Amino acid sequence: MRVYFDNAATTALDPEVLKEMYKVMESQFGNPSSIHAHGREVRTLIERSRKTIANLLHTSPAEIFFTSGGTEADNTAIRCGIIDHKLTHAITTKLEHHAVLHTLQAMEKAGVIKLSYVDVDCKGNIDYNHLETLLKDNERSFVSLMHANNELGTITDIERVGELCEAYNAIYHSDTVQTIGHYRHDLSKLKLHFLACAAHKLHGPKGVGFLHVNHKVKINPMIYGGAQERNMRGGTENVYGIAGLAKALELAYNEMDAHQAYIQDLKSYMMTKLQQEIAGVAFNGETDPAKSLYTVLNTSFPEMDMADMLLFNLDIAGISASGGSACSSGSDIGSHVLTAIGASADRPSVRFSFSKYNTKDEVDYTVAKLKELCMVSA
């Protein structure tokens, strides 16, 4: 049996998305910047895709800018948001994705900003009182806090963060790569300025995403070269990817309630099976369904010999997952997220992440293999 439990890293392309992309590839090849009929046809497709996405997120198409994915969207929001608004202070956590964390740390190293970290608890929840203190005690800040942690699944209350940022005139960016297409976002009500999406996290294609830029903030391009994306991102658009992204998000919204219930049940089932079959197993991050991303389960296993081989042995058994520990596991660093929440360096951890394509039979097979591995290594 081959089992894929690494959907937080990337998801399988939905057949309907593939069909939509193939249709475009087959017949619409014009350059969207060209003024002739072939170009206009493709330009219409891009703007129709933009409108589809904007309608689902309750925002204006003018606030959606297509990018190569979440990393570019995050970098654009952070670098341009800070530099163009002449900000010298930024706030984040040590749990952020490296697309955010490394960008901010590079800007701090270059002397552009002073960087402050919000306190987090052992489950990855941010301290909202500490966030308010940082906002209050510093000049106007740039705040970057992700919606749901990609390793732990712990969800941040972006409505509450938005209220705090508005109260202190801060600019707020959220990496929503793990939650776009899995939760509904009403951008007409959320008080944030930038939001990032990557299509391949919601059964769309790799190499495409978007950045939402609230009309209340103005930034200059990070990539120059042409007038694409209303002079905001030079370079010929990834037309096939954009069509696939719009279709993937449309499907996600149409199927969201059913898939959320199904995947949450699958996650709960795996938690129960792991606790029944493996003594000493524990879970990193929030386990309350209201506070945890339903697609992610970060599991901590008892100390064992050859702990750094756990993922390799799962792969040999046909199970794809990801993880590590708070210490070295195939690298000199390990998981910066597990380290930041104070997870034990002696216990190996595995992130299982689910999609609509997973089954309980796959869970049963995975738990049985894990039980064998834990018994052998005990």
Backbone angles phi, psi at 273, to 5 degrees: -60, -40
Chain-centroid distance, C-alpha 324: 19
Question: Does the active-site annotation cover 197?
Answer: no
Residues in the chain: 378
Contact 323, 348 (CB under 8 A): yes
Measured between alpha carbons, how far is 348 from 135 in angstroms, rounded to an integer?
A: 36
Reported for 11-14, long-range contacts at CB under 8 A and 24+ positions apart, including other chains, are: 11/200, 11/201, 11/202, 11/203, 11/204, 11/355, 12/203, 12/355, 12/357, 13/203, 13/204, 13/205, 13/244, 14/203, 14/204, 14/247, 14/248, 14/251
**Residues 335, 151: Cα–Cα separation, whole Å:** 9
Task: Please state whether 227 falls in left (phi above 0), alpha (psi between -120 and 50) or beta.
Answer: alpha
A 10 A CB-CB count for 13 gives 17
Given 80, 165, 197, 327, the catalytic residue = 327
**What residues are annotated to the active site?**
327
